[in-house]
Amino acid sequence: MEFIETDLDQILKHKIDFTEHHMLKIIYSSLCSLSLLHEANIMHRDLKSANILLNSDCSAKICDFGLSRTMPESS
C-alpha cells in the first residue's frame, strides 16, 4: 500500500498558503482521477475533501470507495 502524506481536508483546515500553480495542479489531478472513474463506469458517491489524498508534489488520488457503484452501460 502506498503512503500518502495528507488529504485536502487537512490542508484546508490548517490554512496552508497555496500558490495558484498548486491549486491548479490539485484541481487538474482530481478532475483527471474523477474522469478516469467515470470512463470505467464507476460513480464515487462520497467525494469530499477528506477523500482526496495529496502527495508533496500536489498530485491527487481519490480514496474511500465504500459507497461507490457501477453505472449501467449506455446502449
Residue with cell 498558503: 17
Angstrom CA distances, 63 to 36, 45, 71, stand at 13, 11, 18
Residues annotated as catalytic (active site), given as ranges: 46
Residues 64, 10: Cα–Cα separation, whole Å: 16
